[in-house]
Amino acid sequence: MSLINEAIPDPAVAPLSRLSSRVGRATAALLPPLTALLIAAVVGDLLILSFGQSPAAVFKLLLEGTWGNAYGFGQVIYKATTLTFTGLAVAIGIRAGLFNIGAEGQLAMGGFCAALVGLLLPVGTPAVVAIPLCLAGAALGGASVASVPGVLKARFGASEVIVTIMLNFITLAFLNWLIATKLNVAESLHTPEINAGAVARLSSVIDAFRGSAANFVLLVALAAAGYVGWYLFRTRAGYDLRAVGLQPEAAEYGGVKVGSVWLRAMLMSGALAGLGGTNYVLGYKQYYEEGFAAGAGFLGIAVALVGRNHPAGVVVAALLFATLSQGGLAVNAVVPKQMVDVLTAVVIIAVATSVPEVQRLLRSTVRGGAK
What is the closest distance, in whole angstroms, from the C-beta atom of residue 17 to another protein in the complex? 32
Structural contact between residues 111 and 240, judged by C-beta atoms closer than 8 angstroms: no
What is the closest distance, in whole angstroms, from the C-beta atom of residue 224 to another protein in the complex? 23
Nearer to another protein, 63 or 165 (CB): 165
Give the sign of the dihedral formed by CA 124, CA 128, CA 129, CA 132.
positive
What is the closest distance, in whole angstroms, from the C-beta atom of residue 49 to another protein in the complex? 12
Burial of 311 (0-12, 13-18, 19+ CB in 10 A): buried
**What b/e readout covers 252-283, taking b as 16+ CB neighbours within 10 angstroms?**
eeeebebbebbbbbbbbbbbbbbbbbbbbbbb
Nearer to another protein, 17 or 181 (CB): 181
DSSP 209: G
Contacts with another protein, residue ranges (CB under 8 A): 1, 3, 47, 50-51, 99, 101, 148, 152, 156, 158-159, 161-163, 165-167, 169-170, 173-174, 176-177, 180-181, 295, 298, 301-302, 305, 336, 338-339, 341-342, 344-346, 348-349, 352-354, 356-357
Nearer to another protein, 70 or 151 (CB): 151
What is the closest distance, in whole angstroms, from the C-beta atom of residue 355 to another protein in the complex? 8
What is the closest distance, in whole angstroms, from the C-beta atom of residue 162 to another protein in the complex? 5
Distance linking the first and last C-alpha atoms of the chain:
28
What is the closest distance, in whole angstroms, from the C-beta atom of residue 121 to another protein in the complex? 28
Helical ranges in 7-69 per DSSP H: 18-50, 55-66
Nearer to another protein, 51 or 230 (CB): 51
Distance of CA 24 to the CA centre of its chain: 26
Residues 6+ apart with CB under 8 A from 251: 240, 243, 244, 258, 261
Residues 6+ apart with CB under 8 A from 118: 130, 134, 194, 195, 196, 197, 198, 281, 282, 286
Nearer to another protein, 156 or 233 (CB): 156
What is the closest distance, in whole angstroms, from the C-beta atom of residue 351 to another protein in the complex? 8
Nearer to another protein, 199 or 266 (CB): 266
The rounded distance, in Å, linking the Cα atoms of 149 and 100 is: 9
The rounded distance, in Å, linking the Cα atoms of 347 and 353 is: 10
Nearer to another protein, 34 or 349 (CB): 349
Nearer to another protein, 157 or 226 (CB): 157
DSSP 276: H
What is the closest distance, in whole angstroms, from the C-beta atom of residue 307 to another protein in the complex? 13
Nearest to 216 by CA among 225, 206, 208, 226: 206
SS3 content of the chain, % helix, strand, coil (to 5): 75, 0, 25
What is the closest distance, in whole angstroms, from the C-beta atom of residue 329 to another protein in the complex? 14
Nearer to another protein, 16 or 166 (CB): 166
